[in-house]
Amino acid sequence: MLRQPRHWMMTFALAACLVLAGCASPATVALTGTPVPPATVTAPAATQAAPAATAAAPVTATTAASTSTAAPTATLPPPTATTAATTAASGPITLTDSLGRVVTLAAPAQHVVTLAPSNTEILYALGAGSVLAGRDDFSDYPPEVTQVPSIGNESPHVNAEAIVALHPDLVLAAGITSPDDVAQLAKLGLTVYATSNAANLDDIYKDIQAVGVLVGKMDAASKLVASMQDQVAAVKAKTASVTTHPVVYYELDATDPSKPWTAGPGSFVDQLITLSGGTNAGDIAKDQYAQISLEQLVSQNPDIIVLGSATFGGQTPAMVAARPGWQSIKAVKNNMVFAFDDNLVSRPGPRIIVGLEKLAALIHPELFK
């Protein structure tokens, strides 16, 4: 009768499992339907538009939850008259972040703390790894980033002491950062920019452009976005002609193999499977991150099983074959079960393109030799 506290403990334990599953999966990048104003750039925007525009159009057409129909670079206004178009900014930088906050920097940031792996990876991809003064605990790529001091992770809250002690001139929060944490850091006098809770590739491109502006790497950002768009276009060109669309089951977590978690419609994984010329078995779910029953999975009978659960759950194809009830699935019978680096598709950063190429190679190996 007096077990209420314990009951709560059990709820916590359940929630803990789910949160861990959530952290290990793209759940952390899910957009929950809140309209987020796109990052508008009023700082000296470089010449990012031209090479990207043609490649960008088909991308936006295929992204499920796209909020903009134009090429992502089109939201960036032309360079202002007072600054040179192609050199790093010399005047103050003013951007509006994904929380609608106006963020101003006197000069490009030299001392940055990132609160999410995606932002860390964007910095390195822009060649700005040297400005990284601190990172969150989940940031583990590129490998040398582990030399940079960690400020812990945000569960339950960011460690404000550790961040303040690093004297950052910019804190890069992400869509997964709690707005309360962002407010707390801002109240302590820090400059905080929150990248988007990316729902599609366009959002990632915008985040890359914005980070480029903040650290004075606009050219690198434009080049990076253009090359990502080229790579997406290349995959699309190859998969445009496919006649078969294999059914792909992407596994996020199978702690309970009779009710595994998968990526539902609108999730990044769903978008990438579609781009790769496959059909997402998780499309039957309602939510972006959904627990489906083994019964449903068996009736979907996927041709290919991709184990994102290999990254955090240590699942292997052999373990899948040994799961009771899974032997009847086509992918298991035909040895089409593959371990996969979930970080490639769960972090809304530059490596998502690597994830796309790897997925496409698994789904249509005949096209990617």
Partner 1 sequence: MSEAITNPVPAAARTEVIDRADRLRPSPRRGLGLAAATVAALLVAALLAVVIGSVAIPPGAVLALVLERLTGLRSAVAYPPAYATILFDIRLPRVTLMALTGAALAAAGASYQGLFRNPLADPYLVGVAAGAGLGATLALVFNLPSTFVGLSAVPISAFVGALLTVGLVVLSARVGGSMPISTTLLAGVAIGSFASAFTTFIMLRSPDGLRRSFNWMLGGYAGGGWDPVLIILPYLVVGMAAVQLNARALNVLQLDEEQARQLGINVDRVKLVLVVAATLMTAAVVAFGGLIGFVGLIVPHSLRLLGGPDYRRLIPLSAIGGAAFLILADLVARTVVAPQELPVGVVTAIAGAPFFVFLLRRLKRSVF
Q: Give the 3-state secondary structure of 69-115.
A: CCCHHHHCCCCCCCCCCCCCCCCCEEEECCCCCEEEECCCCCCEEEC
Nearest approach in angstroms of CB 28 to partner 1 is 7
CA-to-CA distance for 330 and 304, rounded, in angstroms?
8
157 binds partner 1 (CB under 8 A): yes
Nearest approach in angstroms of CB 179 to partner 1 is 7
Region of 306 on the Ramachandran plot (φ > 0 left; ψ -120 to 50 alpha; else beta)? beta
102 binds partner 1 (CB under 8 A): no
110 binds partner 1 (CB under 8 A): no
- Sole binder of partner 1 in the list 75, 83, 150, 255 (CB under 8 A): 150
Give the angle subtended at the CA of 297 by the CAs of 240 and 24, to the nearest 5°: 80
CB 41 within 8 A of CB 210: yes
Helix, coil or strand: residue 248: strand
Nearest approach in angstroms of CB 133 to partner 1 is 12
Nearest approach in angstroms of CB 157 to partner 1 is 5
In whole angstroms, how far apart are CA 260 and each of 66, 253, 273, 297, 363? 28, 6, 18, 9, 21
Q: Which stretch binds partner 1 (CB under 8 A): 13-21, 48-56, 83-91, 213-221?
A: 13-21
3 binds partner 1 (CB under 8 A): yes
Nearest approach in angstroms of CB 21 to partner 1 is 9
**Which pair of structure tokens corresponds to residue 88?**
């790093």
β partners of residue 44: none
Residues numbered 277-336 forming contacts with partner 1, rule: CB under 8 A:
287-289
The number of residues making up the chain comes to 369
13 binds partner 1 (CB under 8 A): no
SS3 content of the chain, % helix, strand, coil (to 5): 45, 10, 45
Q: Which is nearer to partner 1, 14 or 61 (CB)?
A: 14
Q: Which is nearer to partner 1, 222 or 288 (CB)?
A: 288
Q: Which stretch binds partner 1 (CB under 8 A): 16-24, 209-217, 218-226, 339-347?
A: 16-24
Residues numbered 183-202 forming contacts with partner 1, rule: CB under 8 A:
183-184, 187-189, 197
Q: Which is nearer to partner 1, 84 or 188 (CB)?
A: 188
Nearest approach in angstroms of CB 215 to partner 1 is 22
162 binds partner 1 (CB under 8 A): yes
Amino acid at 114: T
- Sole binder of partner 1 in the list 30, 59, 174, 294 (CB under 8 A): 30
Nearest approach in angstroms of CB 55 to partner 1 is 30
Q: Where are the alpha helices (DSSP H) in 152-254?
A: 160-165, 179-187, 201-214, 218-239
Helix, coil or strand: residue 60: helix
Among 315, 289, 285, residue whose Cα is nearest residue 300: 285
Q: Which stretch binds partner 1 (CB under 8 A): 119-127, 171-179, 277-285, 336-344?
A: 171-179
Q: Which stretch binds partner 1 (CB under 8 A): 181-189, 201-209, 271-279, 320-328?
A: 181-189
CA-to-CA distance for 72 and 79, rounded, in angstroms?
16
159 binds partner 1 (CB under 8 A): yes
CB 72 within 8 A of CB 209: yes
> Residues in the site for partner 1, rule: CB under 8 A?
1-5, 7-9, 11-12, 14-16, 18-19, 22-23, 27-28, 30, 32, 34, 137, 149-162, 164-165, 167, 176, 178-181, 183-184, 187-189, 197, 287-289
